[in-house]
Amino acid sequence: MTRGAEPYRDALGMDTVDLARLQFALTAGAHFLFVALTLGLATLVAVIQTRATFSGEPVHLRMTRFWGQLYIINYAMGIVTGLVMEFQLGLSWSGLTEYAGNVFGSALAIETLVAFFVESTFLGLWIFGWDKLNRWAHLALIWVVTLTAYASAFWIMVANGFLQHPAGHVLDGGVLRLVDLGAMVGNPAALLAFFHVMGGAMITGGFFMAGVSAYHLRKRTAEQDFFRKSLRIGIGVALPALFFTVTFGGISFQTLQPTKSAAWTGDMDRLAEAQAQMVAAHGPGDYLPPVGPVQAAGITMMVLWLVMTVVAALSLVLMLFRPVVRGFRLWHWLLTLMIPVPFVTVLSGWVFRELGRQPWAVFGLLRTADAMSPVTAAQMRFSITAFAAVFAVLIAINYWLLARQARRGPGAESLGAPATPAAPALSF
């Protein structure tokens, strides 16, 4: 029985299910942009603070504060987008939560506890603990924040892995019930994707740090040594992360559903065979994902990975020559222009993963149309307009804040700065 859309198509030929899918794609994709940079920057800040704590070098302490402030800006906006996305998940996809919420909802609940109680608490202690806590305790805080950020991402991927390849459940009274947490947590579709996402976050954070540093080197700001060190760290993290990511991405192809695998190859015989298998198992229907968009997303992801690898490898060679690091403006321009490339790459990978699952919300168990809430076309049009507007504003604000803070340089950071003493009271 279909819980979802009424048989309506708008002027663009999109029915209500298509509109709901577009809404979730926009909100989840926008949130993913914040997540990728947050994970990457958290790790880089933790590494830099570790160096500062052991060496006592002032430049590394200032690097921790500058990049840490950019991390906090992105983290705060990511929390807001995550809350908005959770709201629209309940608004538009009640059929999914009714049918499978007892299973994948457990992973989301753990993620919420990790993100909002552990990670946020320790991040607050890290922010307000500068010059108040022992330096080793303060260093431990940022590592707890970083590890809990990855724990949060892990549980999100466990939930997503269940939607891709359901495991650890039974059908009880028309709904799914979790019976084997270990099977769900150990799902290869979740574990491989988690390491792939982790590598992608390192690439995103590394190129962001390298690009901002290259901007300041090109502008000949007063903090040349500061940004030379930052550029080296950014490239030094991004290059191995590129190979780490492509390794787990390649292994992940072994977990592709037959329909997605056939769509990726575009082979007509494989497509027909996959369709026939799904019809035999689930009855009449069209079970193939859109071949063109799946291939386009996959190719985009791979081509951009190659571009980033070439740029990172070239940058590693150029960094061996100090005069080049100081004065090669064309290279600085290139690294600055590379900042958005990892974001496009991770979005392409996400589209490839999610679009290839269609027409299933829970592969082989619940179709996307059946996962929808009983909303009307007018409600969905209003909803998608509202959510798109909110996310556009949040993304614009985040970009403006990051760009302003990055341009101002390390001299303008307020993270960890000593409080301004209060003015003495006047007496008469």
Task: Pick the closest to residue 410 from 213, 259, 241, 245 (CA basis).
Answer: 213
Q: Band of the pLDDT at 209, cuts 50, 70, 90?
A: very high
Greater model confidence, 41 or 422: 41
Phi, psi of 171 (to 5 degrees): -90, 120
Asked if pLDDT for residue 422 goes beyond 50, the answer is no
Question: Would you place residue 310 in the very low, low, confident or very high pLDDT band (cuts 50, 70, 90)?
Answer: very high
Q: Give mean pLDDT, residues 230-238.
A: 94
Token look-up 């650890």 returns 168
Candidate ranges 104-113, 274-283, 416-425; pick with highest mean pLDDT: 274-283
**Using the 8-state DSSP alphabet, how is residue 15 labeled?**
B
Give mean pLDDT, residues 36-43. Answer: 93
60 has a pLDDT exceeding 50 = yes
What percent of the chain is predicted at pLDDT more than 70? 91
Contacts of 46 (CB under 8 A, 6+ apart): 142, 143, 145, 146
Buried b / exposed e along 277-315 (16+ C-beta atoms within 10 A): ebeeeeeeeebbbebeebbebbebbbebbeebbebbeeb
Handedness of CA 399, 404, 407, 411 (dihedral sign): negative
Residue with more model confidence, 388 or 311: 311
For the cut 50, the answer to whether the pLDDT of residue 296 exceeds it is yes
What is the reported pLDDT for 276?
A: 93
pLDDT score recorded for residue 243: 96
Q: Is 104's pLDDT higher than 60?
A: yes
Give the pLDDT score at 424.
41
pLDDT in tens, 328-352: 788 889 999 999 999 999 999 999 9
Beta carbons within 8 Å of 284's beta carbon, 6+ residues apart? none
Q: Could you count the other beta carbons within 10 Å of the beta carbon of residue 27? A: 24
Rg (CA), the chain: 24
pLDDT number for residue 13: 43
Least confident stretch, 281-290, 304-313, 407-416? 407-416
Contact 390, 398 (CB under 8 A): no
Q: Which residues pair with 171 in a beta bridge?
A: 176
| pLDDT of res. 414 | 63
**Quick one: tokens of 161?**
């892995």
pLDDT in tens, 1-22: 333 333 334 433 457 888 888 8
Phi, psi of 367 (to 5 degrees): -75, 155
pLDDT in tens, 131-154: 888 889 999 999 999 999 999 899
- At residue 57, the pLDDT reads 87
Between CA 363 and CA 357 the distance in angstroms is 7
Please indicate, yes or no, whether the overall pTM of this predicted structure exceeds 0.85. yes
In this structure, what token pair is assigned to residue 399?
């970009």
